Amino acid sequence: MDKTRERQAAGSPLPAWVRATLGGLWLLDAALQAQPAMFTMAMLSGVMQPAAQGQPAWLAAAITSSGRLVSHHIPAWNAGFVAIQAGIALCILLPRARWNRAGLWLSIFWSAAVWVLGEGMGQILTGAATPFGGAPGAVAIYGAIAALLLAGWGRGRAEPLPWARHLAAGIFAAGAILQAAPLYWTSLGLSAVFQQVQGMPPQYLSATIEPVVVLTHAHPVLANAVLVAATAAVAVGVWRRATWGYVLAAAWLLFTWWAGEGFGMILSGMGTDPNSVPLLALLIIAGARAPLPAGQRARDRAPAA
């Protein structure tokens, strides 16, 4: 009996599908970070330095200083980045509570550092952040998911990701506000979101995005009104766990991952993660599978009674 209890205590309280998905995404990040281009100056010019553009002076200085530090020994630094992300994945994938907790804490600290110095805080302070480009940033969502899992630690296996729908709805609501920025009601501002994806390889992907670029350039006000309204509607639908909300969310995620994120640029040789859409999908699915609070279940049953 004692040995059985010890094995149960050692087992992870995280649902297997959550561990597999989150650990798999971190493992994919490690593989993308290990691409040959990431061991060259291309990592600085293509990933780190662009994050400093348009930032407040203090943040731009921090990003530039970190890039200058990395530039002296890029292969060694990048090997360390790969090892950290692979280590996070391994800790989360192992069916042991102690390792899972270590992986989640490490992912929080690593995500915070990368979000500030690698993603420029998701470009939120530049006025050019858009949910269709990945804002608030994939690593920010990684860290938030880890924090939710740690906050719900010990609550049992019934709740796969506590408060997932609240976080997902909040991200979509914030995304609608970001998309309503003055920049995105202009032809150049809105079409540029999709044009930068169109300019990345492979060519067959770029060709499919051209109609979106043409449409957003020709009718920016109408197009952006639709994008803002759709993002806000997804926030409401996910919050209410409505069927129409999940259908709209699926369409939003597919469109964004294709036209706005270029499937995370994972086919370009320069992508470091699959971007925010897979993580948002994880939140939405977890929120849909989590049991409703007792009070809300009672309210939902009241009309039927």
Cβ contacts of 293 within 8 Å, gap of 6 or more: none
* pLDDT of res. 16: 87
In angstroms, rounded to a whole number, what is the distance separating the alpha carbons of residues 216 and 191? 5
Give percent above pLDDT 90 in the chain: 70
pTM for the predicted model, two decimal places: 0.89
Q: Which of 1-10, 38-47, 86-95, 132-141 has the lowest mean pLDDT?
A: 1-10
Predicted confidence band at 5 (pLDDT cuts at 50, 70, 90)?
very low
Integer CA distances (angstroms), 275 to 20, 102, 214, 289, 302, in order: 18, 24, 24, 23, 41
In this prediction, residue 2 carries a pLDDT of 44
Q: Considering only 12-21, 116-125, 167-176, 251-260, which range has the smallest mean pLDDT?
A: 12-21
pLDDT in tens, 185-225: 999 999 999 998 887 777 777 889 999 999 999 999 999 99
* Measured distance CA(182)–CA(192) in Å, rounded: 14
Per-residue confidence (pLDDT) for residue 205, from 0 to 100: 78
Question: Mean pLDDT score of the chain, rounded to an integer?
Answer: 88
Higher-confidence residue of 207 and 107: namely 107
Measured distance CA(195)–CA(260) in Å, rounded: 9
∠ CA 36-63-39, nearest 5°, is: 10
Answer whether residue 65 shows pLDDT above 90.
yes
pLDDT band at residue 1 under the 50/70/90 scheme? very low
pLDDT at 175 over 60: yes
Q: How confident is the model at residue 174 (pLDDT cuts 50, 70, 90)?
A: very high
CB atoms within 10 A of CB 240: 12
Tokens 């992912």 locate to 107
* pLDDT on residue 183: 95
- The residues near 201 (Cβ < 8 Å, ≥ 6 apart) are 267, 268, 269
pLDDT at residue 156, as a whole number: 54
Confidence band for 157, pLDDT divided at 50, 70 and 90: low
Cα(237)–Cα(192) distance, rounded to whole angstroms? 28
Check whether 9 has a pLDDT greater than 50.
Answer: no
pLDDT of 218-237, one tens digit each?
999 999 999 999 999 999 99
pLDDT tens, residue by residue, 108-139: 999 999 999 999 999 999 989 999 999 999 99
Instruction: Give whole-number Cα distances, 175 to 127, 276, 295, in Å.
Output: 12, 12, 29
Q: Mean pLDDT across the stretch 292-301?
A: 50
Tens digits of residue pLDDT in 240-273: 999 999 999 999 999 999 999 999 888 877 889 9
* Both tokens assigned to 304: 């039927």
State the virtual CA torsion across 273, 279, 280, 282 in degrees, nearest 10. 150
- Asked if residue 74 has pLDDT above 70, the reply is yes
Categorize the per-residue pLDDT at 56 as very low, low, confident or very high, splitting at 50, 70 and 90: very high
CA atoms within 13 A on the CB side of 202: 5
Tell the residue number behind the tokens 């709740």, with chain if given: 159
Q: Can you give the pLDDT at residue 159?
A: 61
